[in-house]
Amino acid sequence: MQILDGKLAAQAIKDGLKLEVAQLAANGKEVPHLVAILVGNNGASETYVAAKVKACEEVGFKSTLIRFEASISAFKLLDTIRDLNGDPEVDGILVQLPLPDHISAEEVINCIDPAKDVDGFHPSTVGKLVLGQPTYIPATPYGIMLLLEYYKIETKGKHAVVIGRSNIVGRPMSVLLSGSGNYGNATVTICHSHTKNLKEICATADIIVAALGRPGFVKEDMVKEGAVIIDVGITRIDDSSKKSGYRLSGDVDFAAVAPKASFITPVPGGVGPMTIAALMKNTFKACALKHYDGFLIQN
């Protein structure tokens, strides 16, 4: 069994980006600028946004964090996004989800200029992804594809089971793995809360991507010997022995499953860092698109 070390792979990607940013700067070009919007003070969202801002610093991007109280009106938030859409100094815009109940995430996502949609959630971005056209790939599935590429894990002709069909993880993941691009060409089964015989389906998988948000859900008896296991889940579990008061748990029972797996991602240190590295790549593309007329965003 080999650990798929997301920290290591993410660092390699960030190191590459750092060089490219230095080259942009040396050519007198503006460096990529990511704007993150955080509404309210959800603990997990605070952590994710802080990690994104830190990654921008690491690779030499400019970043701006805009914070709003949870009580902000949808009108004000949308107005801010429209201003950022029109600001030539902003390359990428991300609005950290979840949003307070009174604000429609759909409306907010739809408001972001697709050219600056570095999270890859806009309907136009998703449509292009499904059609196999060049576009931004949602950061988490993109990060997983980059991890498969880093470790040269063959997907062609394999049976991949994706557990979870969310718009940000499971569904785009199934599109990428079943697509004809690099690290695609798998036969994909997508499972959700109404799937019957999920255990039996998983047991036939060469690759399992678990993205359901149920700690330790994937057990040893659901996994074929030699399967590749990608654990996307991140759930905070109360733990008084930790300074933070919680520990992070993935969707896979790591201790039981790892001995059967050929490759497995840890939580933390697997998909999480790759998601951030992928966001950095998308932001770099957004900036390159602006600098080089006609530059195509490549998948």
CB of 116 to ligand NAP, least distance (A): 20
Shorter beta-carbon distance to ligand NAP: residue 170 or 184: 170
**Selection from 209, 247, 212 nearest residue 231 by Cα:** 209
User: 62-67 contacts: CB < 8 A, separation 24 or more?
Assistant: 62/31, 62/32, 62/33, 62/34, 63/33, 63/34, 63/35, 63/36, 64/33, 64/34, 64/35, 64/36, 64/90, 65/35, 65/36, 65/38, 66/35, 66/36, 66/37, 66/38, 67/37, 67/38, 67/39
Shorter beta-carbon distance to ligand NAP: residue 90 or 137: 137
CB of 92 to ligand NAP, least distance (A): 17
Residue span binding ligand NAP (CB under 6 A) among the ranges 84-92, 144-152, 252-260, 268-276: 268-276
Angle among Cα 254, 181, 154 to the nearest 5 degrees reads: 40
Of 14, 52, 281, 290, catalytic: 52
CB of 127 to ligand NAP, least distance (A): 19
> Is 2 a residue of the active site?
no
> Is 23 a residue of the active site?
no
Work out whether the CA dihedral 165, 68, 136, 110 comes out positive or negative.
positive
Tell how strand 2-3 and strand 246-249 pair up: unpaired
Angle among Cα 285, 288, 293 to the nearest 5 degrees reads: 125
Tell which positions 125-184 bind ligand NAP, by CB under 6 A: 140, 163-166, 168-170
> Is 5 a residue of the active site?
no
Of 62, 91, 96, 116, catalytic: 96
Lookup: tokens for 292: 């080089």
Does the footprint of ligand NAP cover residue 279 (CB under 6 A)?
no
Shorter beta-carbon distance to ligand NAP: residue 69 or 101: 101
Binding mask 189-218 for ligand NAP (x = CB under 6 A): --xxxxx--x------------xxxx----
Binding mask 228-267 for ligand NAP (x = CB under 6 A): ----xxxx--------------------------------
Angle among Cα 135, 138, 141 to the nearest 5 degrees reads: 115
The footprint of ligand NAP on this chain (CB under 6 A) covers a number of residues equal to 25
> How far from chain centre, in Å, is Cα 220?
26
Binding site for ligand NAP (CB under 6 A): 140, 163-166, 168-170, 191-195, 198, 211-214, 232-235, 271-272, 275
Catalytically active residues, by annotation: 52, 96, 119
